[in-house]
Amino acid sequence: MFTNARYFIKTAFGFFVLGLFSGLYIYGSRTFGWSMPFTLIQAHMHILLMGGVFMMILGVAVWFFPRARKDDKSYNPDVIRISYYVFTLATLVRFIVEILQGYYPQSLTTQAGFWCSSFQVMASVALIYSLWGRIRPVGSQIREKRGEKF
């Protein structure tokens, strides 16, 4: 397994755990009356979907997709690595910012959340662009022509 793929998958597991604990806290706040900012639900969903699911999909894509063609100009492992760090940091900071917005709704946390979201979008576009050329048939089109069904 490639180093980049390991980073994505292990980070996705970390975000899943963070999402599980935040979800447990949400349920505990309903059950036992614990204090909870209303934005924790949004932070919980964001960390699960963007941090857990999307990052897991990207990690598996980096791992399983065929190698890039030698003439593929869009694939660059360094761009993938840098995008991983940007996406990870932006996702984590946005999780924290979402929670803080529940306590300080009219503060700079709203702008910080917007910029974290913007960095997530930029990193996502860079990752998808880098992986786009690797999404191609490698042998499956031959089996499909022979009539195999998948």
* Secondary structure (DSSP) of 47-85: IIIIIIIIHHHHHHHHHHSPPPPTT-SS--HHHHHHHHH
* pLDDT number for residue 148: 73
* pLDDT number for residue 1: 66
* pLDDT number for residue 120: 96
Q: Tell me the pTM.
A: 0.85
* pLDDT number for residue 54: 94
pLDDT in tens, 98-139: 999 999 888 888 899 999 999 999 999 999 988 888 777 666
Mean per-residue pLDDT, 92-100 = 96
